[in-house]
Amino acid sequence: MAQALDQILLSESKRPEVVTDFQNLIDEEVSGKKGVSGLAVKGVYGTVKAVKSGMIHDAVDSLLDDFVQRLQPFYAEYQTAGGGTPLSEYLSGRGDEVADALLGVTDERAGNSQRKSVKNGYEKLRPQAKKHVEEAVPQIGSLIEKHTA
């Protein structure tokens, strides 16, 4: 039986690299956004980074356990299916579900935040968030593949 995703990605030896890779993925996704919604995403992201240096890294580290828990069923189904295609393609085919699962984590966290700037920024971005997360699903799959290979 294959190892669970949390045993791989959250191990003491692997976690720091996974956090850094997810932070880099977020930076790349945000910088690649275009149009009016892209400007909004970049603006809020820049504000969050300006509020506290290292906040994105800390947020990724804080959210990672919950994200991995939400990704585990998709990973298990992928493994059961035999992994005939890259994980990035498999997850892309389920992008809607993957995005909902991951946004469930951030919805809960934002709702519980005591920082008004975080709540306000999240509330402004949330209507478009699913589209942005779905666009990142293939890269999330590639990142997982990198660390589970």
Q: For the chain, what is the domain count?
A: 1
- 29: containing domain: 5-148
For residue 7, what pLDDT is reported?
A: 93
DSSP designation for 11: S
User: pLDDT > 70: what percent of the chain?
Assistant: 98
For residue 2, what pLDDT is reported?
A: 63
pTM for this prediction: 0.86
Could you give the C-alpha distances from 17 to 10, 36, 45, 69, 144, in angstroms and in order?
10, 33, 22, 18, 11
Q: DSSP string spanning 58-72?
A: HHHHHHHHHHHHHHH
